[in-house]
Amino acid sequence: QLRTCCRVLQSCRVSRFQHAATMIQFDEHGFRRRVEEAVVTLQKLLHSTRRPTFAEDVPNHSYQDKYLLAEFLTNCGLAAQCTCLEALGVGTQQLATLVEWSASETVTLRLAGRQRCTFLREEEREVESKAKVVKESTIFGKSEQKVVTRVNEWFWKIDVEWELVAYAGTMGGPRQLRLQGRSGSAQLKTTTSATPEPAGQVEFIPTEVPITWLLQQVKLPGGLVGAAHVLSFKIDRDAEGCRTPRRNPQVEAALHAARELCAWSKRVCQFMNQRIFSKAERCAKVQAHTGRDGFLALIASTHQPSELFVPVLPLFEARPAEEEADAAGGDGDGGDGDGTLVSVTAAAAEAASTPVLRIGDINAMLAEQRRALEAKWATLADACPPADDGSLLSPVELKLSIAVKHLDDCCSQLSQGVDYIEAMLKKQLLDAVGRLVTPADFQRYMDFHGQRLFKPEYAPKPFCFAVRRPDHYPEGTLTIEHLSPDRSRGAIHTSGAIHTICRRVAEPVAPMSFALDAATRVSFTGERFVHAYLAHQFGDPPSPPPSPPPPNWRSPPAPCTSSGASVLMLGARARQFSSFMLLLGRMGPAGTFELKHALILQNKDAVDIPLMLEALPSATEFRDAISSLSPEQQRFAKAYRAMQLEGSVFGILVIQLKPQLEALLKLPHDALTKEIALTQQLLDLFIQYQIPSDLLTYAGPAAASPEEKLEAVRGHVAAIYKMVEAAKEGELHAARQEAMMEQPFHEYAESFGDTSAGFSLFQCGDASAMSASPPDSPPRRNARSIQRTASSASAAPPPRHSAVQMPVAACAAGAAPPGCGPPPPPGASFPAPTAKATPAPIAGPAEAKANDDDFDTADDVASELDYTKIPSTLDAKLLTAEGGAAIRPTTIKVGETWTKRSQKALLGKPKEEALHTEEQQREKQAAFDLLDALSCSGALPIACCSLHVVVAATHAFDQSLLDTVIQQNVNPIEKLERSSLLVATTIHDAPAGRLLRDEVRERVARFAAPELLGGDAAAAGEGAVADLP
């Protein structure tokens, strides 16, 4: 039973060791409970009128008082650690020696030991059984017998020796001081001949801890021999790394030393438990002195939570004004600390008006700690065998175990105390704001703040644009929105359009081009915008495992996983009876657009495309990473980074279809604005049937009226539809003939009866022909005659193919051309456009090509800006700017799964579908077919379009939003103000002072970006910045 109890205590000790390894984690509930218990003891030491309380409960204290509180806690913690060292054998003389050594060398505490197992003897004894065997005899009467068992026992002697030393430099050198040590033995008995411990002498693995930093804080005032050592820990508020009372080099060094002492004390307790306590349970001398219950109580006293007083308390005391003059004193002794090894001097509290406890109170608490330890030692001396009787367990071992456990408590209390100051700051900030500010809240604030930081013409604007021509109703909208995935609920939310630093490129612009295939390039002009999106990323702590995401959700790339800035959503929506084309890609060199995706949107179509943000290393990180590489390796890294930067420029091209159709068909301006059915039929012929545009283009006199031109095009469309239907009917007739030849006549008649499937096919062909043919159309003729009619009516060169082919299966299923109704009859009336002045004739393909050549040689056309150089220009600026190391170039990648919503008919139900790679490729091919027709295979440039060039960057914070403000003492608003100015000056090519509002320029120059606004005061009144070329 005793062995079982010891094993339970040992497991508890190990679990406490594992739990204490996370002492950095602030346990507010446990910390408050320990402080409240200690305050009860403290009240007995102070005057009855004094009421110290938690620091947060004292109102109207200043931020500097928190620095004083951190110094107060650290001084108390260091003094308490020195008291524990005194219990380990460091007296006044030894402390003076160790302090002298620490001035030039590293001082280390080392616990080492050894063990020897020796065989003593083997004994044999008889053990009688408790059972008796009774035999009865008529001659001899009753007789009793007992079973006797012979038992062999082996006796072993376990000698354990340990010592605690302090040495300077390396072990074995001349500077070595033995603090304490002891040797003892125990006799063990086994029932087998196997040794209970390894035979011979075994050296235990020593456990060490450096105490140099702690000793360097101890000083001897005036160099007087015999005077008490003092502590005067101070925080250098002007040091470069000093951010908060908790985050500064001095406190960090104190906590690092405390963590090392904590880990060492746990190893010492584990050593004593495994090497001594577990063997002493069978020691006859101990059990004879204390009994089993007493032994169990002694061992448990080294494992249970300590009841010793820990003088590390984060307390404030509200003092009346008349008591401030006496603040340097206290109820305790302000001198040598009442016999303690060290004391705290008045230099630890400079201002007498602070609410921090007085110096005399600190020394009084240290005296109480020393008194409680001495009382504990006296209790152990009465409960254990004397130390000189040679037993394995004595008061020395118990004192060592309890002293290092108390050292662990003091170090942990110091860490918890300074963490309490930080928790108090967080609570005060949340009370001031009224809620926990999330990255999404901060994003909304920065969108709001940008409008009040920059002048209206330079302020970031929402990325939301209407697809429209001047003086026309919008064809649709284009937006990029923040995407906030709620993994816990399996939902995705958009939180409004992103705000970008936007600049419109001055017109006229040089033509750019993109490739449809290896032989076809399409040039375009139109309006152009340059956008700079500055995202922010906070290092949020890990969240609990989320629930399964939605089926169409794709997780963002690993480099950006927080703050709501890692995923954006590109949304494009077309209005009813409207259409446009959306092209996505990257900007290439020499005025090229590298097209990757294309999509046609019409008649209330809407598409949502996720955009993934992948941050690259910042310019400073890249420079530091390649600094030690060879010249060849550096050139390779620089070339690859240049490729990454050039490839990070994202492009969005929106092409309006109606103006391009008018230019292609040589129709007047706005001729197709009200021709909804005709526009739909033209798109259908180009997309589904790939009809050459020459068959539909107006080829009559240029002086004809707009109505005549439109009527001619309408006639061409009707003729083409007749040709298409004739081709369909010919294919169906051939299919029926083939079916009749493969089957007997009677089976064919039965299969094509009124109720047969074959007759349905026949009817389907007629029905589709009737539905697609205009009413009052002439009787159908063969395909050749229809082709001749269409050719003569269009007065254009004949097409390359004699007939338009359509799959028979589509006709058999009764499929009509998608989104296209029957063409109107040639003589039907159409609403004519309103009377207006006839616009200038639009250049045909040949003339457009000539004009295209003029663009390359004209002197009055501005050269096009190389958009691929914007990231490298910004990268070079960030490399030299203060705070630029936190800004990372960001690549925008199109997500793999899109979501498209469409409505096939006016009264139809909306349909939502996911577009994967195969569907996206199909949409891209349809768009390319239309582009090939609209541009005459690259001969006709596209003028009515809009190009949006997007350059992204990410300001990365190392910690979460709250920790950035509290722990780093950094205002993220000011950091993002500087980053925004760096990006805006690059995009607008203007000094920072010219971009800011007058009322905020002084504040930004003082706090956010003094290096950017040093010489901008005069520049603020200069003329407007010239547009980009």
Q: List, for residues 622-664, the tens digit of each pLDDT value.
A: 999 999 999 999 999 999 999 999 999 999 999 999 999 999 9
Percent of the chain with pLDDT over 90: 49
Q: What angle do CA 55, 58, 63 make, to 5 degrees?
A: 70
- Most confident option among 594-603, 754-763, 764-773: 594-603
Most confident of 23-27, 159-163, 269-273: 159-163
DSSP-derived 3-state class of residue 878 = helix
Greater model confidence, 809 or 340: 340
Average pLDDT over residues 700-716: 91
b/e per residue, 438-462, with b = 16+ CB within 10 A? bbbebbeebbebbeebbeeebbbbe
pLDDT score for 687: 86
Average pLDDT on 163-192 reads: 90
Per-residue pLDDT at 851 = 38
566 neighbors 579 (Cβ within 8 angstroms):
no
Instruction: Tell me the average pLDDT of the chain.
Output: 79
Task: Count CB neighbours of 909 within 10 A.
Answer: 7
Q: 304 vs 1014, which has greater pLDDT?
A: 1014
Q: How far apart are CA 195 and CA 192, in angstroms?
A: 8
Question: What is d(CA 887, CA 103) in angstroms, rounded to the nearest whole number?
Answer: 43
8 A C-beta contact, residue 189 and residue 153: yes
The answer on pLDDT for 857 being more than 90 is no
pLDDT digits (tens, 9 = 90+) for 352-406: 578 999 888 888 899 999 999 998 888 877 777 676 777 888 888 888 999 999 9
Q: Which residues contact 443 (CB under 8 A, 6 or more apart)?
A: 482, 495, 536, 563, 564, 565
* pLDDT confidence tier of residue 295, bands split at 50, 70 and 90: low
Q: Which residue has the tokens 């004699």?
A: 802
**Mean pLDDT of all residues in 745-759:** 45
Of 665, 651, 643, 561, which Cα lies nearest the Cα of 892? Answer: 651
> Do 783 and 726 meet the contact criterion of CB atoms below 8 Å apart?
yes
Highest averaged pLDDT of the listed ranges 71-85, 304-318, 328-342, 820-834: 71-85
- Separation of alpha carbons 286 and 710, rounded Å: 115
Output the pLDDT for position 848. Answer: 37
pLDDT given at position 543? 44
| Dist CA 180 CA 110 (whole Å) | 11
In this predicted model, which residue has the larger pLDDT, 849 or 721? 721
299 has a pLDDT exceeding 80: no
Question: What amino acid occupies position 625?
Answer: A
Residue of higher predicted confidence among 803 and 322: 322
Helix (H) or strand (E) holding 116, with range, is strand 107-137
Closest CA to 369 of 109, 76, 88: 76
SS3 842: coil
What mean pLDDT do residues 202-215 have?
Answer: 93
pLDDT at 377: 86
The 3-state DSSP class for residue 122 equals: strand
Whether residue 508 has a cis bond before it, omega within 30° of 0 = yes
Which pLDDT does position 513 carry in this prediction?
A: 95
Partner residues linked to 201 by β-bridges: 116
Q: How far apart are CA 733 and CA 59, in angstroms?
A: 96
Q: How many percent of the chain have pLDDT more than 70? A: 74
Cα-Cα-Cα-Cα dihedral sign, residues 578, 583, 584, 589: negative
Which is more confident, 387 or 18? 387
Mean pLDDT to the nearest integer, 994-998 = 94
Per-residue pLDDT tens over the stretch 223-242: 444 456 888 899 999 998 99
Cβ burial of 957 (10 Å; 0-12, 13-18, 19+) is: buried
Summarised one tens digit per residue, pLDDT across range 924-953 is: 999 999 999 999 999 999 999 999 999 999
So what's the pLDDT on residue 323? 56
Q: How far apart are CA 179 and CA 59, in angstroms?
A: 47
CB atoms within 10 A of CB 374: 11
pLDDT at 221: 61
First to last CA, the chain: 91
pLDDT of the residue at 795: 39
**Predicted pLDDT of residue 392:** 81
pLDDT digits (tens, 9 = 90+) for 677-704: 999 899 889 888 888 888 999 998 988 9
* Measured distance CA(591)–CA(780) in Å, rounded: 51
What is the model's pTM? 0.76
Q: Do 477 and 490 contact (CB within 8 A), yes or no? A: no
pLDDT digits (tens, 9 = 90+) for 244-261: 999 999 999 999 999 999
The answer to whether 900 touches 640, Cβ cutoff 8 Å, is: no
For residues 577-603, give the mean pLDDT. Answer: 94
Gyration radius from the chain CA atoms: 45
